[in-house]
Amino acid sequence: MKELRLPYDEDALLSLEAGDEVLLYGKLYVGRDQVHKRLAEAIAKGEKLPFSFTGQGIYYMGPSPAPEGCVIGAAGPTTSARMDPYSPLLIERGLRLMVGKGPRSAEVSEACRKWHAVYLYAYGGCGALYSQCILSSRVVAFPELGPEALLELTVDSFPAFCMIDASGRHFEKARDIPFDACFSL
């Protein structure tokens, strides 16, 4: 099991290999397709982004309201392919760490290889576990998107699995990812 502190050090990110189990610690941003669309539009207009991609990652999390007394509700991953139309541009502009579930397009895989980006797989069905790994949550931008706003999470021992490493290597057997691995931490 490897640990990755966020914001990450480039050498630490580059040391991840396809197939590695990873624990994330620190600040992790949440952005889904509407956030990605707005980030791409801001880039096209030459506008400043609401956060710097340097050393940061984006988690594709399905929104869930926080029960009373909790930091966040269930915090499971959502399908990464929905972000694929925007991801190559964001990767080119400095995004090097993405966390979600499911396969990525050939264009995203190529952008990962070209720009040395990493795609981590978050375990589906583990939303309740992930919520226990989140120490804080705050809206950073686009509050009008409600639960799909750009969020900043503080995470501790957040489990993931390296599906695409910075050399573009893939862990091809997603069905072999141990589902119960997320419960053994």
Q: What is the pLDDT of residues 81-105, one digit of tens each?
A: 999 999 999 999 999 999 999 999 9
Per the domain annotation, does 17 fall within a domain? Answer: no
CA distance 139 to 137: 7
Predicted TM-score of the model (pTM): 0.92
Residue 178, both tokens: 């141990």
Q: Give the CA diameter of the chain.
A: 46
Supply the pLDDT for residue 178: 52
Range of the domain at 102: 2-7+24-171
CA distance 165 to 108: 12
Per-residue pLDDT tens digits for 122-131: 988 889 899 9
Q: Which ranges of 46-143 would DSSP assign to H, the alpha helix?
A: 87-92, 106-115, 127-132
Per the domain annotation, does 179 fall within a domain? Answer: no
Per the domain annotation, does 90 fall within a domain? Answer: yes
Per the domain annotation, does 183 fall within a domain? Answer: no
Supply the pLDDT for residue 76: 94
Per the domain annotation, does 14 fall within a domain? Answer: no
Give percent of the chain above pLDDT 90: 84
Contacts of 64-73 with CB under 8 Å at 24 or more apart are 64/127, 64/131, 64/147, 65/147, 66/137, 70/131, 71/131, 71/134, 71/135, 71/136, 71/137, 72/131, 72/134, 72/137, 72/153, 73/131
For residues 166 and 14, the answer to whether their CB atoms sit within 8 Å is: yes
Q: What is the DSSP letter of 142?
A: -
Per the domain annotation, does 109 fall within a domain? Answer: yes
Mean predicted lDDT score pLDDT of the chain: 92
For position 135, which CATH number holds?
3.20.130.10
Per the domain annotation, does 176 fall within a domain? Answer: no
Per-residue pLDDT tens digits for 7-32: 999 999 999 999 999 999 999 999 99
Per the domain annotation, does 185 fall within a domain? Answer: no
CB atoms within 10 A of CB 125: 12
Instruction: Count how many domains the chain has.
Output: 1
